[in-house]
Structure 1
Amino acid sequence: MDIRIAAYAVIIRDGEILLSHWNEHGRSGWTLPGGGIEGTEHPAAAVVREVFEETGYDAEVDRLLGIDTMVVPAAKRISGDAPLYGMRVVYRAHVTGGELRNEVGGSSDEARWFPLDEVSSLKLVSLVEIALQLDADEPANGVPGGGRWERSRERR
């Protein structure tokens, strides 16, 4: 089994959320700014780096919201021949500077602010709904879904 650890930011201001459009290998959807941790990088440092890379904004982490995990079966992976265990560390963050721009040469191709009441009409990556629920619930143990988890939740 392969393992991928990534960090993502929920950034909401003035009733809008900052999203990044993931577009890779023929798959796409709106997601949170964020991505894979590099080397020995701490997830909090990774999310700040990823927000800048994908949106052009400098960001600061406010707090850890939670950690979501999933298993992607080998047959559903874009690349790789083994199942993938994904750990997604989700933070609440805020913009401290910079200017909105799109990533060039990465896995995302657009960054945009959306009114929160329009998010449900977008083609979303599942992480967005999970992260918004974490942001609303702020579970003490950081586990989505009221503190319960399934041993091997698979991406469907």
Structure 2
Amino acid sequence: MEYTDYDTRLAAYGVITDGDRVLLAKLRFPEAGTWTLPGGGVEFDETVEQAVVREVREETGYESEVGALLGVRHHVVPAERRIHANGRPMKAVQVVFRATVVGGALRDEIDGSTDESRWLPIAELPHHRHGLLVPVALAWAGALTR
């Protein structure tokens, strides 16, 4: 398949830890109730680093600083599973950075793609529904080896 035959969605995420806790946001859609890293789609006029800062602020209330690139993950979403159906498959590209909180206060997002943000103990993740990106990114950050 040629690159012109599918859509690509570029998204950026931040891994923010505090001791043995990780900052996560609970999706309102597309997979309601699933915990994920703060992050999301990169706007046309911003860098992936700027997207992380914006998304962390929108979803958690925190101001953040972007650190090292941890990794890039991708997966294919078949046309029939897309939220915005257009008959084309989509390649989702997820760029993950280490990030740190530099200000702000924890709060939930209003009228966005998430409806709750929380610090969760990393050891408790098996007891919470979360996306595959969470353990992958935590492993990249070395946060699962504690």
Q: Calculate the TM-score normalised by the size of structure 1.
A: 0.83
Query: Can you list the C-alpha shifts for 1:78-120, whole angstroms capped at 9, x where unaligned?
Result: 2222111010000011100100000011000000000110012
The answer for the alignment partner of 1:12 in structure 2 is 17
Select the residue among 68, 84, 90 that pairs with 2:73: 68
Stretches of structure 1 lacking an aligned partner (at least 5 in a row): 138-156
Deviation, 1:26, is 6.1
CA RMSD of aligned residues (A): 1.4
Query: Can you list the C-alpha shifts for 1:57-79, whole angstroms capped at 9, x where unaligned?
Result: 00001211011011111122222
Matched residue type, 1:21: K
Select the residue among 86, 108, 132 that pairs with 2:138: 132
Matched residue type, 1:76: R
- Does residue 34 (structure 1) correspond to residue 42 (structure 2)? The answer is no
The answer for the alignment partner of 2:96 in structure 1 is 90
Identity of aligned pairs, percent?
46
Q: Calculate the TM-score normalised by the size of structure 2.
A: 0.89
Matched residue type, 1:90: V
Deviation, 1:136, is 2.0
Say if 2:26 and 2:32, in contact at 8 Å, map to a contact too: no
- Give the distance between the partners of 1:74 and 1:6, measured in 2 at CA: 18
- Give the distance between the partners of 1:120 and 1:10, measured in 2 at CA: 18
Indicate the larger mover: 78-87 or 29-38. 78-87
- Give the distance between the partners of 1:99 and 1:25, measured in 2 at CA: 26
- Give the distance between the partners of 1:62 and 1:26, measured in 2 at CA: 28
Cα distance, 1:75–1:18 mapped onto 2, change above 3 Å: same
The answer for the alignment partner of 1:120 in structure 2 is 126
The answer for the alignment partner of 1:22 in structure 2 is 27
- Does residue 110 (structure 1) correspond to residue 109 (structure 2)? The answer is no
Q: Which runs of 4+ in 1 moved over 4 A?
A: none
Number of matched residues? 137
Stretches of structure 2 lacking an aligned partner (at least 5 in a row): 1-5
Matched residue type, 2:48: P
- Give the distance between the partners of 1:91 and 1:68, measured in 2 at CA: 12
